[in-house]
């Protein structure tokens, strides 16, 4: 994060409640910056989390109940449902830097979890100046709603100035419980039947960004 190019990018907050209790800052707090190039969207997140926890070694198993950074992207800012298709992506990036989303439904109706590691370069480390803080960097290829999982020819969408996309960031914080303790995000979400955990279902709750 000491690269000069980050200095000009503003910080955005990661302070909107989605699920669980609202954590005190020492338990979880976070902020982030974004940059872009033609080939990637670049994310830098500064996260305070008192306990880093990864209790499910299988990356496809209950990944939302381990600590993870969740990056939501809707390439064409269409909004709308995306839970079982690629109208938008919800990349759950785990502490081992693997990225998971739901790719569809199995014949019995249950979600099919898929690894999307070739979309995401992720790396984090504890801050040298403050070891309670972790600095998490992600370089993300942006795929459109025509993405076909398993197609070796799948190409990301080139980014350009003026492009509008749906975007949201969130962090699942667990410090040792059976289920995640807090889920905090970058944008206020209108609850449906008391539930603000809508990002993995409906891209309409994402924020909108315009590349400039």
Q: What angle do CA 131, 30, 36 make, to 5 degrees?
A: 105
Q: Please, what is the minimum distance in Å from the beta carbon of residue 187 to Ca ion?
A: 16
Q: Please, what is the minimum distance in Å from the beta carbon of residue 49 to Ca ion?
A: 4
Nearer to Ca ion, 197 or 204 (CB): 204
Nearer to Ca ion, 6 or 25 (CB): 25
Q: Please, what is the minimum distance in Å from the beta carbon of residue 179 to Ca ion?
A: 12
Q: Does 173 bind Ca ion (CB under 5 A)?
A: yes
* DSSP for residue 7: H
Q: Does 101 bind Ca ion (CB under 5 A)?
A: no
Q: Please, what is the minimum distance in Å from the beta carbon of residue 153 to Ca ion?
A: 20
> Which one among 48, 74, 136, 165 touches Ca ion, defined by CB under 5 A?
74
| CB-neighbour burial class of residue 190 (10 A; exposed 0-12, middle 13-18, buried 19+) | exposed
139 in Cβ contact with 123 (< 8 Å): no
Q: Long-range CB contacts (< 8 A, 24+ apart) of 53-57?
A: 53/174, 53/175, 53/176, 54/94, 54/95, 54/96, 55/174, 55/176
Residues that bind Ca ion (CB under 5 A): 27-28, 49-51, 53-54, 56, 66-67, 74, 76, 78, 87, 145, 173, 175
């Amino acid at each position: 994060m000491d690269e000069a190019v980050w200095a000009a990018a503003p910080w955005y907050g990661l302070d909107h409640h989605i699920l669980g209790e609202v954590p005190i800052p020492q338990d979880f707090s976070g902020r982030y910056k974004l940059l872009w190039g033609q080939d990637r969207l670049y994310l830098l997140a500064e996260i305070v989390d008192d306990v880093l926890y990864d209790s499910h070694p299988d990356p496809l198993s209950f990944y939302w109940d381990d600590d993870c950074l969740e990056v939501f992207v809707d390439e064409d800012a269409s909004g709308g449902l995306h839970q079982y298709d690629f109208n938008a992506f919800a990349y759950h990036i785990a502490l081992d830097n693997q990225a998971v989303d739901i790719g569809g439904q199995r014949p019995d109706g249950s979600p099919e979890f898929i690894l999307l590691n070739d979309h995401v370069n992720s790396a984090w480390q504890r801050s040298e100046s403050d070891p309670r803080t972790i600095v998490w960097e992600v370089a993300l290829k942006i795929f459109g709603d025509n993405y076909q999982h398993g197609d070796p020819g799948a190409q990301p969408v080139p980014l350009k100035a003026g492009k509008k996309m749906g975007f949201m960031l969130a962090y699942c914080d667990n410090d040792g419980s059976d289920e995640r303790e807090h889920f905090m995000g970058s944008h206020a979400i209108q609850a449906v039947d008391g539930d603000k955990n809508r990002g993995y279902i409906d891209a309409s709750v994402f924020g909108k960004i315009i590349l400039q």
